[in-house]
Structure 1
Amino acid sequence: MKTLLPVLRRSIQALSCVAVALTLSQCAAVKKKGNYSVHFDPPAKAVKNPSAVKVKLSTGAQRVYVMEGNEVLLATPCSVGTASTPTPLGTYSIYSKQANRRRQSSPGAGYPMTFWMEFKSAYGMHWGWVKPYPCTHGCVRLPIKSAQKIFSMVRQGTPLIIAKSHPEDATAGKSLPVLDDSSLADPPDSYMMSQKVFDDAAKGKMYY
């Protein structure tokens, strides 16, 4: 029996090493699985003169820039409309803001569109799942923390310039990460249709 003990100890140690290696490889796999928008937290500079703030949206690069004069206060990835349902180009102004808004039309009636900032009838910037390719019906989806911060930085009347590209794409936009929520499972309807989704959004959170 004594001669078996060292063998058993070595076997247990070997199994422990295998378990640790598997755990580490699984953690690495999780990290590589996706760069989700719920974890993106853009740095933001304080607004000094609200009347000088404007927002630029680049549909080609899928980037949003909050500007004060020529200074970028916040830059974030976003998702825009597909070729068949594009985000409209042009110069607009944000004329309506609603922090706790739900989709009005079907399909998807009741789905949260948190931090809604409307710039054209039925078109707005708001929280939504972000993908590295155009995927919306024309609205502009933002990561939850980006939407929360932009909502607080703009006001009714803030200009919004939507173009295929902006000079900031080559500067502030170039260093932004590629966000992809396509492999992220939707939270349960019981959560998405509850008040908690808005309570979490107010904290810059969205389920995960």
Structure 2
Amino acid sequence: MKRPLLLVLAAAAIALPSCEMPMATGSGVAAYQAYDRPAKLPSNPSNVRVKVSTSRQRVYVMEGDTPLLVMPVSVGTASTPTPKGSFRIYKKEHYRRAVSHGIAYSGSNARRTLIGKRPSGWSFKGTPMPYWCEFKPAYGFHTGWVKHTPCTHGCIRMHENLAPKFFRLVSNGTPVNIATTQPEDAKYGNIPLPPDAGPLPDYSLQYYLGDGYFTQHKKPSYN
């Protein structure tokens, strides 16, 4: 994720790169972490399709005319847009990390950077992108902070509590249609939103160096 950070690291987290507890606190973070949306398992998984509305920043996971999951997402900015068109999911990976960008670290020091710009002698781990579902080379759905305005480099960020639901509902081969608007916008798009993640403090870099973010979500439930 590429967003401003509040690097207020607890001493224990600095000492332990594998720390499993997020360091961001506050009522806004608590409200964000409590956000959830209902999901329904399909009768026939082969009939599932995904529709993305970039103008509304909504994803509709549909089985026929029945919505299985309707969720807010973050899409690409005007300069780094989410690609439009018809695709299929062809790669799913729960424990995905980015290759080109992430966190350079040395002892208690850590900073976000591109892999080619890490300081000499520092180690590097890619940005965690949990519940990755790729639909075009280098573009996919994945867990990330969801904001109320487009903010990504083209990927589609899902809320931490909704990403595992999406991951279960889709399969390799699931069709994905991405357009400026979708017919479902009018009927299903008016949903409650989580707090805007933009003003919220990020989890610590030390937390992202461990594996905790890959399971940073509620236990999924389905109707």
Q: TM-score with structure 2 length normalisation? A: 0.73
- The answer to whether structure 1 residue 164 and structure 2 residue 180 are counterparts is yes
2:206 maps to what in 1? 190
Q: CA RMSD in A?
A: 2.0
| CA 58–80 in structure 1, closer or farther in 2 if over 3 Å, else same | same
2: CA distance, partners of 1:35 / 1:159? 34
1:124 maps to what in 2? 140
**Which residue among 153, 158, 161 is the counterpart of 1:142?**
158
For the 8 Å contact 2:141–2:158, the answer to whether it is kept is yes
| CA 143–84 in structure 1, closer or farther in 2 if over 3 Å, else same | same
Partner AA of 1:74 in structure 2 = L
1: CA distance, partners of 2:55 / 2:29? 22
Within 5 Å, give how 1:60-79 maps onto structure 2: 60-79=55-74
Partner AA of 1:65 in structure 2 = Y
Offset at 1:137? Answer: 0.3
| CA 148–154 in structure 1, closer or farther in 2 if over 3 Å, else same | same
1:25 maps to what in 2? none
Partner AA of 2:81 in structure 1 = P
Does 1 or 2 have the higher relative contact order (CA < 8 Å, sep 6+)? 2
Higher fraction of strand: 2
| Contiguous gaps of at least 5 residues in structure 1 | 1-29
For the 8 Å contact 2:35–2:194, the answer to whether it is kept is no
CA deviation vs aligned residue, 1:125-184 (integer Å, no higher than 9, x gap): 000011111100000000011111000010000000000001111121113325410121
- Identity among equivalent positions (%) equals 47
| CA 44–193 in structure 1, closer or farther in 2 if over 3 Å, else same | same
| Contiguous gaps of at least 5 residues in structure 2 | 1-25, 102-112, 115-124
Q: Considering only CA atoms, is the larger Rg found in Structure 1 or Structure 2?
A: 1
Between 150-159 and 181-190, the greater mean CA deviation after superposition: 181-190
Higher fraction of helix: 1
Within 5 Å, give how 1:37-52 maps onto structure 2: 37-52=32-47
